[in-house]
Structure 1
């Protein structure tokens, strides 16, 4: 099983596409701006190259770990020490991969694992931060929802394409 760098890049781009839709004024953008205290003027003052560049960088980090969250075979590979140890693995590894090498490698399965990752990782982190920042539940749920949707799609892309 080879690592597919292109799949990770595409998964990282998902966050930008989902964000463009999710935070559009006709979806959740207007509510998010009200709840966050953001204004059009303040938004225009931001360094867009820095914002989108770092957003892509952090999204890439998330996409990079997504195979470990969505692809069961990554666990088997981890048990032998990684791809560089395939030649030294016990015969049971080769037998497992022969039997299950492509099992559960679907869009739906990846979406399920991406969704649960968003629900059990992104939602708690977002809400904990929001509670300490004294943000509203609307704000927290809009941001957490964005990450749940993004991670669901990222998981589908990575699980099917890696």
Structure 2
């Protein structure tokens, strides 16, 4: 398996991005907006094209790193999922938790965002398992 493969990385990125679209656009749109303290006007003021493009780029970087680790270690499918979820639970979620503590963000925002990272990484891990199958 190559250290970098475009299609699995792209598919993993798309899976994570799709989870975010559902998470913040449908499932938790109102609670997230309330917890983030953003008005409808503030949400409309952002450059959504740039925000989505950068989100996709960051998620692709995450996918590239995870795929590289998987390619270098050749783990069993259940270990791929453990790596994806472990990265979310052991690195990403604590990092935003630390940031939110200093920003004095509410617990509800942390839980919504942490859930997004956990489910998004599970989706990415599932895609990677499928590509390796």
What is the TM-score normalised by the length of structure 2? 0.88
Structure of larger gyration radius? 1
Tell me if 1:142 matches 2:115.
Answer: no
Query: What is the CA distance between 1:156 and its match in structure 2?
Result: 2.2
Q: How many residues align?
A: 131
The answer to whether residue 89 in structure 2 is matched with residue 119 in structure 1 is yes
Deviation at 1:133, TM superposition (A): 0.6
Following superposition, which runs of at least 4 residues in structure 1 exceed 3 angstroms of deviation? none
Unaligned runs of 5+ in 2: none
Shift of 1:44: 1.0
The two structures have a TM-score, normalised by structure 1, of 0.73
CA-CA distance at 1:126 after TM superposition:
1.0
Q: Does the Cα contact within 8 Å between 1:110 and 1:160 map onto a contact in 2? A: no
- In the alignment, is the contact (CA less than 8 A) between 2:15 and 2:127 conserved in 1? no
Look up the match of 2:13: 12
* 1: CA distance, partners of 2:111 / 2:121: 15
Shift of residue 153 of structure 1? 1.4
8 Å contact from structure 1 (residues 11, 158) kept in 2: yes
